[in-house]
Chain A
Amino acid sequence: MIIESANLFWLFGIFVILLLLTGSYCILVSRNLIRILIGLELLTKAVTLLIIVGGYVTGQMALAQALVITLIIIEVIVVAIAAGVIIGAHAHTGSLDVRDLRNLKG
């Protein structure tokens, strides 16, 4: 890997780490189910960026794009199913707060 590519990867890597931190913080601190799902989306964005930069730096753009397309498809399905579960939970408990989901407690 040439030095310029390594620097580019490190520059993007810093922002990927910051995005991962933002998404993780959102998941850990939020109590709203939809906001937790948004945090998960932010984590996915960071992974997408990492794959694209990895492909760019190593010259494997076609492979990186194929992987990102697969990732996006999986992301959509996860979001759709999770949104369905959240709407179902809201219909059941009348709230989006994770503290109200205590049906399985104890």
Chain B
Amino acid sequence: MTSPNVALLLLMLVAAVWTVMASSLLKSAIGLALTSVVLTILMFQLDSPLAAVFELSICAGLITVVFISAISLTKPLSAEQEQERILSRVKRFALLPVMLAVVAAVLCFSSFRPDFSVNFRPNPMLDVRHVLWQLRRFDLVGQIIVILAGVFGIVVLFKHRSKGRGGR
């Protein structure tokens, strides 16, 4: 099980680095969706199908749509500005792969192995629905409050903006 995991983890890291280093914002958004898709496959491998479905539908789907909408609602750069930005970006982001390689080498080849042993009672038979609806019920209340706060936030943001435009 470990070698497919390593391949998937490497693919996820490559997708994340591509997300950060891509010159176009659209490519970055697609790279982020790809990272989410690989994370979804990893979650399926680690026996978390429900969270994986959430990750795939919401993070790889909805959030990508939000990003692409935000990108399309903002003004694209001219060709000259784009060229200048690309040169500047290469200088600023060239350090990232080097830094990641160094940190990965240090973590892999050092003898440092933290002890993660904790006292726990494994309970693999516990159902996620029971946990979500019975044990962590207050989390659901928090989620509802957060969703309502988000809805009101969006309404206030766009309402304020349309008023400002009308005032001008």
Contacts and interface: CB of A to CB of B under 8 A. Distances in A.
Interface of A: 1, 6, 8-12, 14-15, 17-19, 21-23, 25-26, 29, 32, 34-35, 37-39, 41-42, 45, 48-49, 52-53, 55-70, 72-77, 79-81, 83-88, 90-91, 94, 96
A56 B46 contact: yes
B132 A66 contact: yes
Contact of A73 (B25, B147, B161): B147
B100 A29 contact: no
Contacts of B161: 88, 91
Interface in B121-161: 122-124, 126-128, 130-132, 135-136, 139, 142-143, 146-147, 149-150, 153-154, 157-158, 160-161
Contacts of B127: 62
A11 B139 contact: no
B73 A35 contact: no
Interface of B: 2, 5-6, 9, 12-13, 16-17, 19-20, 25, 28-29, 32, 35-36, 39, 42-43, 46-48, 50-51, 54-55, 58-59, 62-63, 66-67, 69-71, 73-75, 92-93, 95-96, 99-100, 103-104, 107-108, 113-118, 120, 122-124, 126-128, 130-132, 135-136, 139, 142-143, 146-147, 149-150, 153-154, 157-158, 160-161
A75 B5 CA distance: 25
B119 to A, nearest CB: 10
Contacts of B42: 49, 52
A70 B143 contact: yes
Nearest to B122: A59
